[in-house]
Amino acid sequence: MFRKLNPTSGIPIYIQLKEQIRHFIEVGALKQGDQLPSLRVLSEMLVINPNTVVRVYRELELEGIIEVSHGLGAFVAATKEKKIKAQRIREAQEEIERMMETFRKKGLTPDEIRRLMEAAFVQFEVY
């Protein structure tokens, strides 16, 4: 399933591998719950440093795309969509908090901020 990586492409090897895994998940070649090759097997298969595979798996795990169970292996995350949605909500919450702090620094009252938000909801048809 995995393709050889191109060390002369100008794209770092770990990014090529990471994008390959993402692509396989997106097109359904790897499904939720499927086990990925072990670090050793994948590094030997692609003739790359095992530390590269470690980095890719770690980053994909942090992004919620795979789950790593030490001793068992790496698996496509069973709740990828929920994790992605939760991450987006956390990021939106952080943006709202920054925006509220900016409004406070500009001297706006909570009622003024609320009215601005309600007007934005109407304008963007959020209700």
CA-based angle 13:40:60, to the nearest 5? 50
Are 56 and 111 part of one and the same domain? Answer: no
Boundaries of domain holding 110? 81-123
Statement: residue 115 has pLDDT above 70: yes
Confidence (pTM): 0.61
Q: What is the pLDDT of residue 17?
A: 97
User: How many residues make up the chain in this entry?
Assistant: 127
Are 21 and 72 part of one and the same domain? Answer: yes
Say which range, 20-24, 41-45, 52-56, 116-120, has the weakest mean pLDDT. 116-120
Are 52 and 67 part of one and the same domain? Answer: yes
- pLDDT tens per residue, range 72-94: 999 998 765 666 666 777 788 89
Q: What is the pLDDT of residue 127?
A: 46
Q: Is residue 4 part of a domain?
A: no
